[in-house]
């Protein structure tokens, strides 16, 4: 059996085990933490999703777009609910209409009408966001829980689904004196569950790391308001998981903090990362068959400008159990900042420094509304420092208005880049002047240096600049003969 076959089988086994573990953890979270029934089987209420009967005109941009697969609820829904005082109520989930006339509705609700059994309107439940989103098929659009423990069922309405997998609900309390629902004052509750023994409501937010990062808040309902009594968090601090609990009912009580044992080392956390590409190569002088794994997070960590799910990137190089390089050691997680290394691809082992030892190359980046960015990373093993270094210059990047490509010029690997210079008044993907740079490896400096630089003579579009750069290859070759030299062989 070859080293490559052995590595591929080990990766497949690791990925299979981590998939089972991840699915098992998700199933336990749904069963224990969220306790949500299937969307067609809402406890303590008789619910029906109404068919959508309007002509089908939905296209790519028709209706609300979700980053997840949402339940089809454009026809609305109805739920019959019986309160202990004999009130027979019906909750009508009224679908939203688009702003422009069309025969198709958004897959959202604009409000919930509460009526008597015979159709008399009692009240309308609405939200500050104006609409309620449609949930994933496994999540209920209505929860029926007694959150203030007065013996009367209250209702929680699905608001939205946030990455990496948090269902948020707003609650209305049933007031038996007025036979109406009153909005529960407080924050939206993430993946709520009711602890009847403690007479408390627990909200749990998955903050990333395949559930190893979380926020769990315990509330009591007092005078129609949510009152937080305990806060429990698990964070990644200084390379360790730290679990912290605070008693919010006693502000003077100190917080309890503990270090959490991490998973056994395996090069990378298989519950948090999945392999998208792998390779085996002699990327370290004198060593045979180092394993390279390009990874993507299992959880969604960011959304593109069009709300397309994005996954954080990681890369690990290891020799057996010994990790030679890791792009990042922290767990993947959503954040309000930009994720500049998502959507990993393009793993390649290629000698681009001319020393006979292949570099490890891959791309990752982010996508906006009008453009994208895919940074090329070039990991070169520095024998003097006995470590990998990312030696790619900043303009080794692909965008909608530029790119980097490799060429062998006079037998020497060279990186050719072209990037638009966006002038005032120019359209994004219109014609621009372009900057061209050709890089070759300088072994003495331990870096790529610019051997050639030029600007386009006229404004060019996204296709024309590539042809213009091709026409400049003779000039690049002439410069390369003088300024670029083959690298000496590495120390072995």
- The tens digit of pLDDT for each residue in 264-316 reads 556 688 899 999 999 999 999 877 889 999 999 999 999 988 888 999 999 99
74 & 157 share domain: yes
pLDDT at 10 over 80: no
49 & 176 share domain: yes
Q: 19 is written with which tokens?
A: 């998939």
Task: Please give the Cα distance from 375 to 398 (Å, whole number).
Answer: 6
Q: What average pLDDT does the segment 141-145 reach? A: 95
Half-sphere exposure of 277 (CA within 13 A, CB side): 17
Q: What average pLDDT does the segment 323-346 reach? A: 86
pLDDT at 59 over 50: no
Q: What average pLDDT does the segment 323-334 reach? A: 92
Q: Which of 262, 284, 316 is the last residue of a domain?
A: 262
Q: What is the pLDDT of residue 35?
A: 34
Total domains, the chain = 2
Residue whose structure tokens are 């029934």: 37
- Expressed as residue numbers, the domain containing 231 is 186-262
**More confident position, 37 or 385:** 385
Q: What is the pLDDT of residue 488?
A: 57
123 & 240 share domain: no
Contact 66, 133 (CB under 8 A): yes
pLDDT at 5 over 90: no
79 & 94 share domain: yes
Could you tell me how far CA 41 lies from the centroid of its own chain? 30
Contact 439, 414 (CB under 8 A): yes
235 & 255 share domain: yes
pLDDT at 21 over 70: no
Task: Please give the Cα distance from 303 to 306 (Å, whole number).
Answer: 7
pLDDT bucket at 64, cuts 50 / 70 / 90: low
**More confident position, 11 or 415:** 415
Q: Which of 131, 158, 184 is the last residue of a domain?
A: 184
Q: What average pLDDT does the segment 159-175 reach? A: 95
Contact 74, 106 (CB under 8 A): yes
170 & 200 share domain: no
pTM for the structure as a whole:
0.84
pLDDT at 447 over 60: yes
152 & 42 share domain: yes
Lowest mean pLDDT among 31-40, 140-149, 226-235, 349-358: 31-40
- Residue 376 covered by a domain: no
Task: Please give the Cα distance from 306 to 99 (Å, whole number).
Answer: 20
Q: 113 is written with which tokens?
A: 């009408």
Q: What is the pLDDT of residue 370?
A: 87
- Residue 59 covered by a domain: no
Q: What is the pLDDT of residue 215?
A: 97
172 & 255 share domain: no
- Residue 69 covered by a domain: yes
Task: Output the CA torsion 170→172→173→178 (10° steps).
Answer: 170
Contacts of 43 (CB under 8 A, 6+ apart): 37, 144
Q: What is the pLDDT of residue 104?
A: 57
151 & 44 share domain: yes
Mean pLDDT of the chain: 85
């Amino acid at each position: 059996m070859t080293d490559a076959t052995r590595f591929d089988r080990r990766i497949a086994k690791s990925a299979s085990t981590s998939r089972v573990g991840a699915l098992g953890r998700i199933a336990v979270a749904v069963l224990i933490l969220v306790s949500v029934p299937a969307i067609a089987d809402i406890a303590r209420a008789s619910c029906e999703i109404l068919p959508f009967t309007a002509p089908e005109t939905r296209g790519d941009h028709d209706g609300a777009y979700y980053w997840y697969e949402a339940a089809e609820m454009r026809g609305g829904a109805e739920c019959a609910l019986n309160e202990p005082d004999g009130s027979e109520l019906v909750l009508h989930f009224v679908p939203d209409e688009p702003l422009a006339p069309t025969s198709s509705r958004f897959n959202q609700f604009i409000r919930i009408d509460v009526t008597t059994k015979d159709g008399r309107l009692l009240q309308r439940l609405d939200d500050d966001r104006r609409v309620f989103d449609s949930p994933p098929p496994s999540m209920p659009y209505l929860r029926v829980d007694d959150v203030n423990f007065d013996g009367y069922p209250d209702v929680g309405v699905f608001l939205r689904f946030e990455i990496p997998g948090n269902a948020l609900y707003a609650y209305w309390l049933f007031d038996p004196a007025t036979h109406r629902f009153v909005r529960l004052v407080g924050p939206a509750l993430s993946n709520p569950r009711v602890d009847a023994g403690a007479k408390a409501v627990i909200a749990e937010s998955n903050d990333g790391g395949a559930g190893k990062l979380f926020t769990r808040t315990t509330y009591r309902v007092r005078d129609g308001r949510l009152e937080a009594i305990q806060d429990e968090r698990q964070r990644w601090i200084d390379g360790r998981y730290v679990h912290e609990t605070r008693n919010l009912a006693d502000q003077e009580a100190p917080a309890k903090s503990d270090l959490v044992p991490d998973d056994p080392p395996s090069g990378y956390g298989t519950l948090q990362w999945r392999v998208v590409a792998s390779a085996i190569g002699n990327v370290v002088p004198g060593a045979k068959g180092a394993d390279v794994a390009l990874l993507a997070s299992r959880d969604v960590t960011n959304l593109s400008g069009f709300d397309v799910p994005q996954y954080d990137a990681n890369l690990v190089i290891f020799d057996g159990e010994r990790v030679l390089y890791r792009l990042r050691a922290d767990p993947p997680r959503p954040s309000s900042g930009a994720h500049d290394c998502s959507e990993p691809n393009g793993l390649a082992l290629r000698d681009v420094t001319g020393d006979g030892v292949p570099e490890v190359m891959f791309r990752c980046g982010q996508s906006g509304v009008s453009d994208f960015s895919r940074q090329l990373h070039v990991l070169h093993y520095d024998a003097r420092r006995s470590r990998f270094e990312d030696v790619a210059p900043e303009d080794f990047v692909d965008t909608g208005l530029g790119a980097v490509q490799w060429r062998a010029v006079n037998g020497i690997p060279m990186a050719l880049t072209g990037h638009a210079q966006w002038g005032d008044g120019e359209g994004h993907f219109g014609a621009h002047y372009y900057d061209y740079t050709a890089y070759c490896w300088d072994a003495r400096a331990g870096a790529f240096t610019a051997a050639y630089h030029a600007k386009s003579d006229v404004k060019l579009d996204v296709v024309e600049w590539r042809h213009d750069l091709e026409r400049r290859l003779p000039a690049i070759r002439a410069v390369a003969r003088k300024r670029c030299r083959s690298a000496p062989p590495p120390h072995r």
